[in-house]
Structure 1
Amino acid sequence: MTERPIDRRTVLGITGAGAVTLAAGCVSTTDEETPTDSSGGGGNGDSGGDEDTATDSDGSSGPYSIGVVNSQTGSLSAFGERNARGLELALRDVNETTIGGRELDAIGEDSESTSSSGVSAAQKLVNQDGVPFLIGAVGSGVSLAIYESVVDGTDVVQLSQNSTGTDLTNYPGLLRMSPPGGVQSSALASLVDADDHDSVALAWVNNDYGQGLAETFRSEWGGDIVYDEPHDQGASSYSSVVSSMANSGADAWVFITYQPEFTTMAQEAYSNGYEAPYYGADSVQGSDVLDSTPEGSLEGMQVVVPSAAIDQDNYQQFAADFESEYGQQPTSWAAFMYDCVVTAALSIATADEFTGSALQETVRDVTRPEGEEVFTFDEAMEVLGEDGTADDIDYQGVSGPIDFDENGDPVGFLQVLTVQDHEYVQTDTVQG
C-alpha cells in the first residue's frame, strides 16, 4: 500500500428511524451509550408513484423487502448495535422520497456473530422470505460462510456492511462497504515502523479476519515477529497469551482481535504489570473497551479504523440528524450500513425488475464515477427522473466515495486513533 495523508477525518457513525421488519426476536437499534428498545414496523408503501421503477416478478406493488443479517448478539454485537441505527436512518431517508412511490423494508435476522447462525439467518431470508438483495454480515468469516453456503450460484446480491477480512477480495461476487483489512495491516506496520520498534508480538484471533490481517501484517512489517500466535474467541482468560507476549521480549504488541477478547487481555496484562506499546486493528477499539479497562492501562495505544467522510456535506447532515435523534455522534460502522441501504435502494430504482439478476446489473454502476455525483438518495432520484439508468449516477456515500472495484471492494479511508487520557483521539488519516 502507498500511504499518504488526506483531509482530516473522524470515525463517526449513524442512526435514524425507518421501516424495519424485526425478525428473530428483538433487534437492538442502539449505539453503545444509550440502549433503547425498538419494535418492528413493516412499512406501508404507496404504489401510486409515476416514476419508472423495478417491479416484482409477481407484479406486486407494496414495499420492496431486502434482507439484513446483523450481529444482534455475540462477540460482534457492539458493531451490530451501531449498524442498526444506520439502517433505520437510511430507511427513513429512502422512504421520505420513496422508490417510485414504493417504500423499502428490511427483514432483519441475527447471526449471533457466528458462521453457523449467520448461514441459517441467510437461508431463511433467501429461501423463505425470497429477498433478492442481502446485506450481511459483520464478521468476515460469517459473510464468507453466507456467500459460499447460500449466495454463491444464485442471483442474490450480497453486500457486507462491515467485513474487512482480506480473503473477501478473492470473491468478487461478495461486495462490501467497509475497506479491506489489508489496508489496516499495512497502516499498522507503518505505525510500528515509524515508532522505531525492531520487534513485535502479534496476537490474532483464529478466524478469517484474524488470519487475513495477520498475514498482511507479516508481509508488510520489516522487523522481527518474536511472538505470532492465534487465540480463540470467547475464552474467559487469555493469561497465557499475554504472559507469552511479555516473555517474548517484543518492543511492541500488536492485536488483531475483537473487543471482548482484547479487553480481557488488556485487563490481565495490566494486573500482571506487563507493559508495552500497544497497536491494534479496528475491532479492538470501542467505548466498551475504555469502560472496562483501568485508566492508564491503554495510554498511547494506536488503533487503525475505517473512517467516514466527515468533510462531506452529506455526512455532516447525516451526523446532525443522528445527534438530533439520539443525542450522540454516529460511528463509521453505522455510516457503512447507511450506505448499504441507500445503495440497495438505488439499485432497485434503476433495475428493470425486482429480481437478483436485475439488481446484479445495477448495484455496482450506481456508485461508479461515470455517472453524475449525487450525495443523497433524494438527489439521486431527482437526477434519475422517470427514465434514468444506473450509469447516470455516482452515489457518494456518507462513508465516502464507494466505487466498487472488480473484486467488490470500495475505496477506503482510514483513521489513526491514539488513546490519550483514556480517550480516543484522532492523530492521523490515511487512504488505501
Structure 2
Amino acid sequence: MPHSFFRASDYQLSRRASVIAFLALVSFMILAVALAKLAAPPNAAPARPVVTARGPLLSADGRILAGGPLQARRYPHGSLAAPIVGFVGASGGLEGAERVYDGRLARGEALTLTLDTRVQAAVERVLEDAVRRTDAQFASAVVMETRTGNLTAMASVPGFDLNRWPQVPPDRWRNRAALDEYEPGSVVKALTVAALLNEGRTTPDTVYDTPMWRRYAGATINDIVPHPGQLRTRQILRYSSNVGMTRLVEDVPPEVLHRYFSAYGFGRPVRLGLPTGDGLLRDPEDWGALSQATMAFGQGLTVTTLQLAAAFNVLANGGRYVAPRLVVGAPTGSRAVLSRATAASMREMLHGVIDEGIRAKAELPGYHVGGKTGTAQVAVDGRYSGEVFSSTFGGFVPAGQPRFTVAVMVRGAKREYQGSQLAAPIFRDVTSALLSLHAVRPDPGP
C-alpha cells in the first residue's frame, strides 16, 4: 500500500511540471510576438526597391533616344548616335549627354538634342559601308544647318549598342567626330585661299608659276595631280597644288593666316556641351616659312571633324562663323570672319572644283555642291606613314544657297584612301539623303 501511493504521487508531480513548462513556453512566445509588434513601426509595408525617375533624351524629330528610370534606362534606337547619347550606371550618367546633363535629367527634365534621327541614321549607314568596303580603322562625319548651326547629325563609326555598352571596348564609346584631332590635308587650302582673298593678297584669277615641284624654305614641295606650268588661284584649288600654295603664302606675315585660322575655330574647343578637342594651332611666333606653307595646305596643324564643319560653314554662311549647337534652345553665337563678297567668291570657286574635277564622285545629277577634298599622311611613331592616311572632305549643298554644311573624315583605309576616292563619295551619299529627306528640288546652278 505505501509503495503504491508513492508511485501515484510521483506521477502527479511529473505531470504538473510538464504543464508548468508548457505554459511557460506559450507565455514566452506570446511575449516575443508582442515585443516584435512594439518594435515594428506602425503600418509598416514590405520593403520595395527605390525607383529613381529620370527625364528622357529626345531628338529634334520627336524620337526618344533614352527613356525610363535610372535603374531601367532603355535606348530604343540601339546604336544610333550612341557616343552622343551616352549611358548610365547605378548612380547616374557615365558617358555622353547622359553624363554631361545628368543633373537636369535626374530632376526629371526632358532634354531635346538637335539631331534628326533620319539624317543621323543615313550618315551612320554611309560611313559603315565605307569603312567596311575599304577596311578602314574608323570614320566620322558632321552635318550642320548652315544658318542655325544646329547639328542634325554627328556620327562616329564603328559604334556600339547602348543597351549592351558593358560588352563593348571603351574606345567604341568615343565621340570621334568631336574629340579626334588629325591633320586635315588639302581641304584646308580652301580656307587659306579665302583668308588671302579677304586680305586682298590674291584674286580668283591671279596667275602664278607652278612647276610640278619647287624648292622652298629648304625643302622640296611636290604636286601629285598633273597640271599646267602656270595656274590661276582658282586652278590651284582645282588641281590641289601644293606648289601653288607656296606661291600664295610667300611673304604673308604669319599673324595674318593665324588670325583667320583662329577665327575659323582652329586651336580652340567648340562650346558644345559635350567634351570636344582643341586641335593644334601653334602661336605665329613659332611659324617659319616652311611651316606656314605646310599649314596652308593642311599639315602641321590639327582639327576635329566638328571644327572642320564649323570652319567650312563660314564659306557657306556668307562669311559668318556660327557656333555649332547640339541642344535645342541652347545659346549660340556668331562672328564675322570673311566679307560676304569673299564668301560668295569662294562658293563659286569650290563649285568649280567639284564640277571641273570630281563631279561624279561628289555630286548628284541635277544638283550642285561646293567643296574640297584632302588626303593627309598620318604620323605613326613620330614619322609620317606611307600606309596610313586620313581622307577628308568639307563642303556644302546646294552650292548657290547652302542649307547644309558637311565634313567627313576616314582614317586608315586600306584602299581607295584618297579624299577624292573615299571622302567625296561619302559626302555625295550623305547629301543625297539630305536632299531626299528635305525634298530639295534640283538646282539649275549656283
TM-score, normalised by the number of residues in structure 2:
0.26
Structure with the largest fraction of helix: 2
TM-score, normalised by the number of residues in structure 1:
0.26
Which structure has the bigger radius of gyration? 2
Identify the structure with bigger relative contact order (alpha carbons < 8 Å, sequence gap 6+): 1
